[in-house]
Amino acid sequence: MRDRVELSPGTRFGGYTIVSVLGRGGMGVVYEADDPKRARRVALKVISRVHSSDESFMSRFRREGRAAEAVSHPNVVALLDAGEQSGSAYLVFELVSQGSLSDLLKERGALPWREAASLGAGVARGLAAVHAAGLVHRDVKPSNVLLDRRGPRELGEPKLADFGLVSAHSASLAVTHALTRTGEVVGTLEFMAPEQANASGSVTELADLYSLGALLYALLTGRPPFSGTGYALMKKHMTEAPRPPREEVAEVPERLESLVLALLEKRPEARPRSAASVARELDEIACQKLPGRSRLAAIVAVSLGPRSSSPSRGRNPRARRSRPGRPRTRRPPRSRPTSRRGRRPKRASSPRRRARSTKPASTTRRSRHRRGPSTSTRRSGSRGWRGAGAGARRSSST
């Protein structure tokens, strides 16, 4: 008996007509099918009869339908229908046939940091909707992020898919059977959180944020943060620190690198608290103008305001202006001639000064006092004109 149900093109299953095989996974096979009711192509996911006999596996399958029905968001693949036929269950999703982030990485390698931040913001918004419904995805990886290129974006709008590994942490959505048996590791090792790899059972939405950080790391550098197989790879997630993305790609902004490393923290409580906050941060990073500009530098630049071009106080405003079309040059200082001894020569007298020197002394030089004898009288006595006058008075009295 085969592990998977293989349906040939043209086969009718659950009211849908099989067109081709889109992919195969752990739960079954995904087909592209025609939906006659909606007149559109859909993605039909069918699990095998062998797995249908396993109650725990069927619980996981039914949980996928319950999780998808509880989430309605542009960044999440929409569930259209669910049912069972001939002992095999199936789910019908909207068809997103433009590929996945895994195909994009294989085709282009590492993406520019702005495109990586923009795609990561869309994935974070989809995770926020999943967490708001009380669910944990548990398997966030590039192959589970589909690209819908029907919109204006060049790379397409990311859509989170494959809810086969989700687990409810909300009491209203809890079920009696767990999705995984005790000690069983569920997820993809390259993008798995340490607490998830440890199979401790305390897996919350913060595990999805770790996987989102690993996905962003792969978009920026072209590879996951850790490589290896089996237990060695799991141990790296639990003990080793990832290499900073800027050491791989120097153009990555410091702010984006800090966010990725925060998402890849080993302790869940050290990571960002919600997918919604991560989405807002990635949107801001994708829209920032300077690639290496940190948040602190941006806040300081905004607080200081634009630099004023007006002249400073106390200076001539005309001195700072220059005529248009002419380069602004500064004249060299004038050098004064010096004599042989190194002293500056006396300044030549002007005609006006020479004219003043030819005038009589009485007109050119004012007397020391307004009233008094002439210069000859002042110089005759030893005590000046006062002494001469006193002697004259004494002689006249005698």
Domain boundary among 249, 275, 299: 299
Q: Which residue has the higher pLDDT, 53 or 14?
A: 14
Residue 52 and residue 164 in one domain: no
Amino acid 366: pLDDT? 52
Select from 77, 95, 113 the last residue of a domain: 95
% of the chain with per-residue pLDDT over 70: 62
pLDDT band at 189 (very low <50, low <70, confident <90, very high): confident
Report how many domains make up the chain.
2
- Model confidence at 343: pLDDT above 90: no
Give the confidence band of 183 by pLDDT, cuts at 50, 70, 90.
very low
Give the residue among 66, 88, 89 at the shortest CA–CA distance from 79: 66
Q: Specify the residue for token string 């999780």.
A: 67
Residue 190 CA neighbour count, 13 Å, CB half: 14
**pLDDT value of position 146:** 93
Q: Could you read off the pLDDT of 131-143 as tens digits, one per residue?
A: 988 888 888 999 9
pLDDT (mean) for 298-304: 47
Considering the domain architecture, whether residues 24 and 61 belong to the same structural domain is answered as yes
pLDDT tens for each residue of 46-72? 877 777 777 777 777 677 677 677 788
Q: Between 36 and 316, name the one with better pLDDT.
A: 36
Residues 44 and 141 in one domain: no
For the ranges 16-20, 192-196, 342-346, the one whose mean pLDDT is highest: 16-20
In a domain, 170, yes or no: yes
- One domain for residues 102 and 1: no
Residue 259 lies in a domain: yes
Looking at residue 300, what is its pLDDT?
Answer: 44
Per-residue pLDDT band at 99 (split at 50, 70, 90): confident
Q: Is residue 388 part of a domain?
A: no
pLDDT at 174: 33
Same domain? For 29 and 71 the reply is: yes
Mean pLDDT calculated for residue range 171-184: 35
Considering the domain boundaries, does residue 372 fall inside one?
no
Eight-class DSSP state of 64: H
Residue 48 shares a structural domain with residue 16: yes
CA atoms within 13 A on the CB side of 216: 34
pLDDT digits (tens, 9 = 90+) for 102-126: 999 999 999 999 999 999 999 999 9
The pLDDT assigned to 341 comes to 59
Question: Is the domain of 60 the same as that of 110?
Answer: no
Domain containing 10 — which CATH number? 3.30.200.20
Q: What is the pLDDT of residues 230-245, one digit of tens each?
A: 888 888 988 999 999 9
Is-contact 253 285, C-beta < 8 A?
yes
Single out the catalytic residue among 103, 139, 148, 208: 139
In which band, very low, low, confident or very high, does the pLDDT at 181 lie, cut at 50, 70 and 90? Answer: very low
Same domain, 76 and 157: no
**Average confidence (pLDDT) over 347-352:** 61
pLDDT of residue 200: 58
- For residue 57, the model assigns a pLDDT of 72
DSSP-H helix ranges across the chain: 49-52, 55-70, 101-108, 113-132, 194-197, 205-221, 230-239, 245-248, 254-263, 275-287, 295-304, 351-358, 361-364, 375-380, 385-397
Domain-located, residue 128: yes
336: Cβ contacts below 8 Å, ≥ 6 apart: 344
Confidence of residue 270 (pLDDT cuts 50, 70, 90): very high
Q: Do 91 and 110 fall into the same domain?
A: no
User: Across residues 305-310, what is the average pLDDT?
Assistant: 44
pLDDT attached to residue 253: 95
For residue 30, give its domain range. Answer: 1-95
Chain-wide mean pLDDT for the chain?
75
Task: Answer yes or no: 139 catalytic.
Answer: yes
Distance CA 47, CA 4 (A): 7
Same domain, 21 and 111: no
Q: What's the pLDDT band for 215 if we cut at 50, 70, 90? A: very high
Decide which of 269, 299, 329 is a domain's last residue: 299
Closest by Cα among 32, 42, 46, 33 to 4: 46
> Mean pLDDT across the stretch 14-37?
88
Residues 189 and 267 reside in one and the same domain:
yes
Residue in this structure with the two tokens 């919109």, named with its chain if needed: 151
**β-strand pairing of 40-46 with 29-35:** antiparallel
Q: Is the pTM of this model over 0.95?
A: no
Token reading at 255: 């702010």
- Is residue 91 assigned to a domain? yes
Q: Are residues 88 and 102 in the same domain?
A: no
